[in-house]
Structure 1
Amino acid sequence: MGPLMLAVAIFGALMVLRWLLKNMNWWIHERPIGDKQYLLPPGHMGLPIIGNMWSFLLACKFSRPDTFVDSFVKKYGDTGIYKALMFGYPSVIVTTPETCKKVLMDDDKFEPGWPAATVELMGKKSFITIPYEEHKRLRRLTSASINGMDALSFYLTKIEDVAIFSLDKWSKMGEIEFLTELRRFTFRIIMDIFLGSEGDAVMHNLEKEYTALNLGLRAMKINLPGFAYRKALNARNKLVAVFRGVVDQRRKEMKENVHYRKTRDMIDGLINATDENGNKMDDRQIIDTMMMYLNAGHESSGHTTMWATVYLQQHPEIFQRAKAEQEEIIRKRPPTQARLTMKEIRQMPYLSKVIDESMRLLTFSLTVFREAKKDTYINGYLVPKGWRALVWFRSVHYDPKIYPNPMEFNPSRWDNFIPKATEFIPFDEVGCVQEMNLQSWKLQCFSITSFLITSLND
């Protein structure tokens, strides 16, 4: 073959490769829906197979996740909905309160659609994967154990015990890595709430396993050595084995009534919970519920508390106002009271605004995944049946039309502002899961931040 023919062959091969790179995802995901493809929202599906994941992961790696969605907005305009290929699924990304509401609140058209890796790691009977009716049943079963007033008051005592222990420990350590210690702190609280006395014995080993599990929750489902999903799957298996052992032991003690203490930790509440038909949760449901709340409470509360503390240190005038609120509560206590109470928690309106503002700025959960149950239209654009819809929380929380000067830490913005349902989404869901998470999770943040504020110097 002469040089000219070789050059032509190489050029032709490059053109074919270019066509494949540009059109393979279109051929696989858009062409099959025929003329409806012209009703899809603007956007692009990235590289073959991996789609837009490379640019998404790069943005997250360099702590700039907003740049991922910003690139769609800059290229296609502020439509509030864009097509992409995410986690192996043809998807739309929704970015405004209106489009988010349509995806999150319409259970007739959308259902949970989490990536396969997340479903496997969180459990197929966890709240994020089960059908709506089963979701409601489990919510009724678990609400008293998790958010009942007796439960919250009991958790507050646990939190205070751990806070006193941890603050004393930190004071003797000199310099500490604050986030690491906060994560250990919150993990200890959660384990104590879930497992009671068993928590101390298993806490150290479980913390390492849970960290590995959390890192794999939104990773690609690549079950090969060295990949985050494989490490997370191994970690889940170890966590499940520990939780199953505890559940088995508790059931045995209850059945035999031998030295069984009427404890009030969460695992007892979940085992004893009964719905209106007399049905109880099976072991798989209990374990997957525990895994879900570990995910909801450990990483998010640690990061939120850390950033709330950082923001307070960066804004002395806000810190002084928050500290004055705490000192006033302590001043009004009767001499016989030494502990924080639920009544006092309700008397912290400014701290509540500090935590809400910290959650808004942090937006620990980037997105939630839903799946279209049938062809659906949002803002005139088609979301085909089976496609995923990703609700992008940060775009909502940083929308200047809702939050003026959105990058500014300003707790006072909440003074006369009550956000609509999809204008403030601090968790991975709205409705049932968010309501259940919010009270118990926010109690942790309130208590921890309160102790830190009263312990910090001006």
Structure 2
Amino acid sequence: MNLLFLVFLFLLPILVLLRRRTKLSKRVPDPPGSFGIPIIGQSLGLLRAMRVNTAEKWVEARIRKYGPISKLSLFGKPTVFIYGQAANKLVFTSHDSIIANQQTQSIKMIIGERNLLELSGDDHKRVRAALVSFLKPESLKRYVEKMDEEVKEHLEMHWEGKQQVKVLPLMKTLTFNMICSLLFGLERGEERDKLLVCFQNMIEGMWSVPVNLPFTRYNRSLSASARIHNTLKDLLRQKKIELDQNTASPRQNLITSLLGMLNEDGTQVLTEKEIIDNITLVMIAGHDTSSVLITFIIRLLAKDPSVYASVLQEHEEIAKNKLPGHYSLTWEDLSKMKYTWRVAMETLRMVPPVFGGFRKALTDIEYEGYLIPKGWQIFWVTAMTHMDNNIFPEPLKFDPARFENQASIPPYCFIPFGGGPRICPGYEFARIETLVTIHYLVTRFTWKLSADDGFSRDPMPAPTQGLPMQIWPRKLS
């Protein structure tokens, strides 16, 4: 009986939405395709393809079968898949009255319903403005030195004196420590270590079928999410006391910055839940995307000697102008790492950390001669324009020169951080993390891959063995 009731609960929204049609739906057909198995739909097929790194082929097969738009069921909801430059523009620029932010039910429940990816209209603008005020370049300049310290301390603890390392787990540790230190003011210790374990459990179920049964990934992620939110509540209370006692500054970290934002009447700009949900979102974005990007840059440098030589030359030029011994990077140093960031952009083009995303149609939309019904989920995939030969000639070739003149790239075709008014507010934070880390890696070490059996997605791309490699210390030329 419980199983039948569960099936009914998941089928009910689909049945209701199928019945809701306006005058537009009478003259415009639904997209081709099918919803597949009740509740499950095509979710398991997509997740399976991601884990064996055939997700792009899975999507391409749909396109060959159905064309540029098709219907399916993902994570318990009726969905329309669209792709291409026009699709990306529709997703990233449509007015909030037409398309709303909405992630899968699993992401919504794990992060929290008041996170930026779920908000629209005035709420989205208010929360986004609060996050951008901390994450904009002018604000982040003062944190370069702190990032510099975190990277050097990490290398001393986990790289120096070693002959072999696994890159991805170490990069995840590094980016998590940066987030804890810079964004939360949570220094190294037992509390941070416990938070890391919870965090790793939480992100495992981000893309999962939202059936909350014992021993499922979704259930484990929800439990870990609850523990993290409780920890963040305690941190908020502690930071509030410190602000009230003037022992902390609103500029000290992201939590104090958000707590210190007040309306004219003295009330906080963001509620406690909004702060917690969006700090969770920033944790995930700053941890996963940056660690994946840095890992795949390191992988690329091991495979392409010419790119490696150019990156090394750029960083040696910066290092040789520093005083011997210990030194720290500055904001001005980062501005000189132009070639390195082009390498990062090309890495993001070929291996975007975010496979795709979801939106929700708030009204019936006519697109490509078909109807996207009100209430349905809209699914878009990042790599479909990144690997389009008409946009990026020879897309399988790694070529950082593509980004020497970014104005030549058609809008809404390079979207690792989204686009338009919905571009990721943490873009600059990721750039600084990446450049500082790569600088110290290439100037202090040389490396060779021990094994490279490709990568899978779960949902972020990850080398199948964590990218093991041999390392040697090096001296500046």
- Give the alignment's TM-score, normalised by structure 1: 0.87
8 Å contact from structure 2 (residues 17, 374) kept in 1: no
- Mapping of 1:28-427 within 5 angstroms? 30=18, 33=21, 36=26, 39-76=29-66, 79-107=67-95, 108-149=97-138, 151-169=139-157, 170-198=159-187, 200-257=189-246, 260=248, 264-275=252-263, 279-280=267-268, 281-333=270-322, 338-418=327-407, 419-427=409-417
Q: Specify which of 430, 434, 438 is matched with residue 423 of structure 2.
A: 434
- 1:138: Cα distance to partner? 1.8
1:444 maps to 2:436: no
CA distance in 1, matches of 2:103, 2:186: 34
Distance 1:32 1:139, change over 3 A: closer
Residue identity opposite 2:257 in structure 1: G
SS of 1:254's equivalent? Answer: helix
Q: What runs of 5+ residues in structure 2 fail to find an aligned partner?
A: 1-11, 448-477
SS of aligned partner of 1:442: helix
Q: CA deviation at 1:363?
A: 1.2
Moved more, 231-240 or 173-182: 173-182
Task: After TM superposition, give the deviation of residue 304 of structure 1 in Å.
Answer: 0.6
Judge which range, 429-438 or 157-166, deviates more.
429-438
Letter in 1 for 2:198: E
1:95–1:391 CA contact under 8 A, matched in 2: yes
1:392–1:36 distance in 2 versus 1, CA, 3 Å: farther
2:451 match: none
RMSD across aligned positions (CA): 2.5
Which residue identity is paired with 1:321? Answer: S
> Residue 31 of structure 2 contacts residue 370 of structure 2 at CA under 8 Å; is this kept in 1?
yes
Contact 1:81 1:99 in 2 (8 A): no
Q: CA deviation at 1:225?
A: 1.0
Structure 1 residue 239: deviation in Å? 0.5
Q: CA deviation at 1:384?
A: 0.6
- Cα 1:184–1:162 change in 2 (3 A) is same
Q: Aligned pair in 2 of structure 1 residues 335, 136: CA closer, same or farther (>3 Å)?
A: same
Deviations 1:183-219 (A, max 9, x none): 1011111111122254544221111111111111121
For 2:15 and 2:424, locate their aligned partners in 1 and report how far apart those are by CA, in whole Å: 42
CA shift in 2, pair 1:48/1:451, >3 Å? same
Q: Is the 8 Å Cα contact of residues 28 and 369 (structure 2) preserved in structure 1?
A: no
Q: CA deviation at 1:407?
A: 1.9
The structure-2 alpha-carbon separation of the partners of 1:48 and 1:141, relative to structure 1 and needing over 3 Å to count, comes to closer
Contact 1:25/1:47, CA 8 A, preserved across alignment: no
Change (3 A) 1:199 1:421: farther
- 1:292-317 deviation per Cα after TM superposition (whole angstroms, max 9, x unaligned): 10011101111110001111111100
Are the structure 2 counterparts of residues 307 and 276 from structure 1 closer, same or farther at C-alpha, using a change threshold of 3 Å? farther
Q: Distance in 2 between matches of 1:271 and 1:177?
A: 38
Which structure exhibits the higher relative contact order, with contacts defined as CA atoms closer than 8 Å and separated by 6 or more residues? 2
Asked if structure 2 preserves the Cα contact closer than 8 Å seen for 1:375 and 1:382, the reply is yes
Deviation of the 1:153 alpha carbon: 2.2
| Stretch deviating more after TM superposition (82-91 or 198-207) | 198-207
Sequence identity percentage: 24
- Give the structure-2-normalised TM-score: 0.84
Contact in 2 for aligned 1:99/1:379 (Cα 8 Å): no
The AA in structure 2 aligned to 1:255 is D
Structure 1: state its 5+ residue gaps. Answer: 1-23
CA distance 1:147–1:32, shift in 2 (3 Å): closer
SS at structure 2 position matched to 1:407: coil
Comparing 98-107 with 24-33, greater Cα deviation is found at 24-33
1:457 aligns with 2:435: no
**Aligned residue pairs: how many?**
430
Query: By how many angstroms is 1:253 displaced?
Result: 2.5
2:88 aligned partner, one-letter code = C
1:420-458 per-residue CA deviation (whole Å, 9 max, x = no partner) reads: 44211113x434553411111221111112221222338
Structure number, greater radius of gyration = 1
Distance verdict in 2 for CA 1:142–1:26, change over 3 Å? closer
Contact kept in structure 1, 2:80 and 2:378, CA below 8 Å = yes
Distance 2:298 2:433 in 1: 14
Question: Higher helix proportion, which one?
Answer: 1
Distance 1:368 1:285, change over 3 A: same
CA distance in 1, matches of 2:173, 2:197: 10
User: How far is the alpha carbon of 1:282 from its aligned partner?
Assistant: 2.3
